A and B are shown apart, each in its own frame.
Chain A
Amino acid sequence: AQKVTQAQTEISVVEKEDVTLDCVYETRDTTYYLFWYKQPPSGELVFLIRRNSFDEQNEISGRYSWNFQKSTSSFNFTITASQVVDSAVYFCALSVSGNTPLVFGKGTRLSVIA
């Protein structure tokens, strides 16, 4: 069975601080996909990134960066110079094939204070 753990329930930071959201996953499959989604107060889940198990290259997109470490089964997400608009619940998720449903972590609520 697959499992995603987001140990941080809530994080509060002051604007312009860097913040890292942790994600640890469990699966016995050798092929899998990891995701991060953002859920602002409006409720819609916004796709941020997908990473497959064969690609451990870290990725940077603007102020966002992701660190994928297979050795520790982690897929952490860092926001640099956080902004108030980053306030949301962030979900890490796992899928073991292209069409299997996502297994979500419990989410981390990020509050960025001005």
Chain B
Amino acid sequence: DAMVIQNPRYQVTQFGKPVTLSCSQTLNHNVMYWYQQKSSQAPKLLFHYYDKDFNNEADTPDNFQSRRPNTSFCFLDIRSPGLGDTAMYLCATSRSGTLRFVEQYFGPGTRLTVT
């Protein structure tokens, strides 16, 4: 019954070593989001895809990139992780195209630690 799946659940990487986090969904939702949540803080949106259209938040560092090869998968690439990128990364999906709002479904998150 898993709907939004994130892999890995835990990731440790070294300072400056590129890392990729993955998200997949079985809901066939056309909107996918990536949020960063640091300890004891609220989730902060990094970017989202509306179908294939990429929407970057103004304050998202260039170090963060994303790919969406198809409807089901979305990747978060951190090109040169810094210690400050240690956080929980949450993927979410929603369905658009209807008048009735549909809530966002979140995955379990990936806890990234940069050492």
B101 A50 Cβ-Cβ under 8 A: yes
Whether A99 contacts B50 by the Cβ 8 Å rule is yes
* Interface: B42 (CB within 8 A): yes
> Could you mark each residue 43-66 of chain A with 1 if its beta carbon is under 8 Å from any beta carbon of chain B, else 0?
111110010100000000000000
Our pick among A35, A45, A50, A98 for the contact of B98 (Cβ within 8 Å) is: A98
Complex CA distance for A91 and B37, rounded to whole angstroms: 12
* Contact of A98 (CB < 8 Å), options: B40, B42, B90, B96: B96
For B114, list chain A residues within 8 Å (CB).
Answer: none
In the bound complex, do residue B31 and residue A45 qualify as a contact, i.e. CB atoms below 8 Å apart? Answer: no
In the assembled complex, the Cα of A46 lies from the Cα of B96 at a distance in Å of 20
The answer to whether B43 touches A104 (Cβ under 8 A) is: yes
Closest to A95 in B: B101
- Of the candidates A33, A37, A44, A47, the one having the most CB atoms from chain B within 10 angstroms of its own CB is A44
Q: Which residue of A lies closest to B90 (CB)?
A: A45
A contact residues, total (Cβ < 8 Å)? 22
A44 touches B106 (CB 8 A): yes
Q: Please tell me if A30 contacts chain B, counting CB pairs below 8 Å.
A: no
Per the bound structure, the CA–CA distance linking A18 and B45 in Å amounts to 33
Confirm or deny: A71 has a beta carbon within 8 angstroms of a beta carbon on chain B.
Answer: no
Q: Which of B45, B99, B104 counts the most A-chain CB atoms under 10 A from its CB?
A: B104
- Chain A contacts for B100, CB-based, 8 A: 98
Contacts of B88 in A (CB 8 A): 43
Could you say which residues of chain A place their CB within 8 Å of the CB of B44? 104
* Chain A residues close to B by CB (< 8 Å): 33, 35, 37, 42-47, 50, 52, 91, 95, 97-99, 101-102, 104-107
Chain B residues in contact with chain A, CB under 8 A? 31, 33, 40-45, 48, 50, 88, 90, 92, 94, 96, 98-109, 111
